[in-house]
Each structure stands twice: as C-alpha cells, then as structure tokens.
Amino acid sequence: MADRLKIFSDKKWLPANWNHVIMLYPFWGDIPLPSTDPDIGRFDDYISKGKDIFEIVNLIEDCDVAVLPFEYDFEPSKAQLASQIANEVKQKERKLVVFFNSDLITDIKLDNAIVFRTSFFKSNQKVNEFAFPGWSVDFMKTYSGKNSVLSKPSKAKISYCGYVDYLGERKTSFFGRIKSIFSSISKESLEYGSYLRGKIVRSLLTDTHVETDFIIRNGFWAQGIEDKLKVRKEYMENMFNSPYALVTRGAGNFSYRLYEVMSCGRIPVFINTDCVLPLENLIDWKKQMVWIEEQQLNQIGSIISKFHQSISETQFKELQEQNRNIYETYLSPAGFLII
C-alpha cells in the first residue's frame, strides 16, 4: 500500500450535536439521513475507500495536515472556535483543511488554512482557496445503472428542470418599469441565480437554433410537491433524455447541477459567472462543455448550435463518455477526496 496522507482531527474540537465533515466519515462514521432523503448512500464509496488513502493519527505533530472537524460557519461561536483551532494548529506548524459548503462568498480569514469552498469568484480567489464539488447521489448508478450514450440529433437538444424567477410576461406598473431601468440585481445577491436562469430559459424557449426540454418548478426544490423521490426521478430523467443540460449558478456562485450532469455523462451548457471550478489544473473544463461567458447570453442559442454542428457523431459520443469518466475519476466523493 502506498503511503497514506496522515491527517489529524480532535473530537474535542467538535461540540456535541455538531456534524463532522465528509472527509472524516471513514473514521468517525456517516451522518444518518431520513429514509426519504434522495441522497442516501452518496458517500458509501468514499467511506469504503477512505482508509486506503488517509491515515488518522493521534498526535498533531505526526500529521501532514489537520482537519477542521465541522464545516466552517460565520455564526460567531463557530467562527470563533474555528479561529482558536486554526491558531492551535498554526503553533504546531501545520496547515488546517477547512470545508465551507455555502452560498456565501464572504472571506474566511484563517491565514494557515487550506479552504475548500463552493461559492466564490475567480476574480477574487485567494491563493489558499479551492473549489470542491456539490455532491448528490451518483445519478448513473441510481438511475438503474443506466449507461446510455445518446446519438447526435440534427438539432441540439437541451434540458433544464428547476426554478426560475418567472416564465411568462411579467406585468409591472409604470413606476416599476422605470425603477427597473435604473436598478439591477447584484451578482452578490442570493436572487441573482434565479434571475439569470429565468433570463436564459426565456431566451432559449423562443430560440429556433435549439430544441428545449424544460420543466419549470414553482420554487426551490420543487416547492409545493411533497413526493421528493418522484421529483428527483423526474429531474434525473429530464437530464438523461437530452444530450445537453443547462448549468448556471444558483443562490451561490456555483452549481450542484454541473456535477449531476457530469455523473449522467451529459454535456453541460455552462454559463460562466466568474466561477472557480474544481481541479482546474487537471480538468480542461472548456473542452468538456459548451462554455458561455455571461456577456454572451444574447447569443446563447447560436453558440450552442455552432458547437453542436462543429463536432462529429463520434466526437459527440466520446464527449459524453469522457464526462462520465471525469465524474468517476475526479468529481465523485471518492474521486475528489482520494485524488
């Protein structure tokens, strides 16, 4: 067995009733989910393999890196405790691995930390900040092991299932329309994602360059529909039934959907909103997707169509296979955490 990375985390650092981070699951156990949760089992593969990659040691002096046992939080008591732990680790001349799965873009000010976070901007990325995936279950394995590679249709077909700010004509008062001319939603706003998705969906629905398969929900996580397992199945089927899938940010500047699309072996139509993507040194992201800058949204349909027409049937199928392989190798919980 190759040398394992030696990690240290102290259960004394973890207050009662606080969950520990995913990286520690092979050693401290999984966090139970309700039986109705559609993401049950998403970390099973990592839990079974984690001890082959990491070795947890009893003394901080013996570790390669220390791990903050709870996800970082700006709630004062948690932030203060994280700072105290970081100082303790710094005194031992070690780095502290920190995970922050949140829509917030606020700076985490721990100078000896290696921070893995979901939401931040490329233009403001700190040297110690790295992106990590948002993890759902592996859609390919969950969807009855379906592993179909779609043939290339004559016209690009793109899926989307989710919430947008509005779909039909928006009726506003005269003063409301005047106000909208002089104001816009800030990119730091939690509402910016739904605004952006709505703008794109409305555009594509009337664009003759592409074929759309859109399911529009009434709110986040199919608000108003109680059967979430049925909702998740419809979401997965929608993704599997089209070769392309719309991927853009949500409330935070990142998208869980990106990793779900990759797990399906489908081709993301990725809207870049100054994003940081995981493992940019290993994955040439622009080769794996239709990459569209936010400033190009007025051309989105033609860009998708141009990409679709530029690749052969063989390349089209190979791209789907490559994306599935990238998910398994680099983006799944086991792939990312044991790289």
144 and 212 both lie in a single domain: yes
Which string of DSSP letters, residue by residue, matches 31-52? PP--TT-TTTTTTHHHHHHHHH
Q: Is residue 131 part of a domain?
A: no
SS3 call for 23: helix
What CATH number corresponds to the domain at position 330? 3.40.50.450
86 and 166 both lie in a single domain: no
| From 83-92, 160-169, 224-233, 305-314, the region with the lowest mean pLDDT | 224-233
223 and 105 both lie in a single domain: no
pLDDT > 80? residue 145: no
Q: What is the pLDDT of residues 171-187, one digit of tens each?
A: 445 444 444 444 467 77
Show the domain range for 160: 139-337
94 and 195 both lie in a single domain: no
Q: What is the pLDDT of residues 223-235, one digit of tens each?
A: 666 676 788 889 9
Question: Cα 178–181–182 angle (5° rounding)?
Answer: 100
105 and 143 both lie in a single domain: no
Q: Is residue 51 part of a domain?
A: yes
33 and 153 both lie in a single domain: no
220 and 112 both lie in a single domain: no
CB 158 within 8 A of CB 210: yes
177 and 35 both lie in a single domain: no
What percent of the chain has pLDDT above 90? Answer: 78
pTM above 0.85, yes or no: yes
Q: Is 138 exposed, middle or buried (0-12, 13-18, 19+ CB in 10 A)?
A: buried
pLDDT > 70? residue 129: yes
The total number of structural domains in the chain stands at 2
**Average of per-residue pLDDT values in the chain:** 91
Out of 117, 147, 164, a domain closes at 117
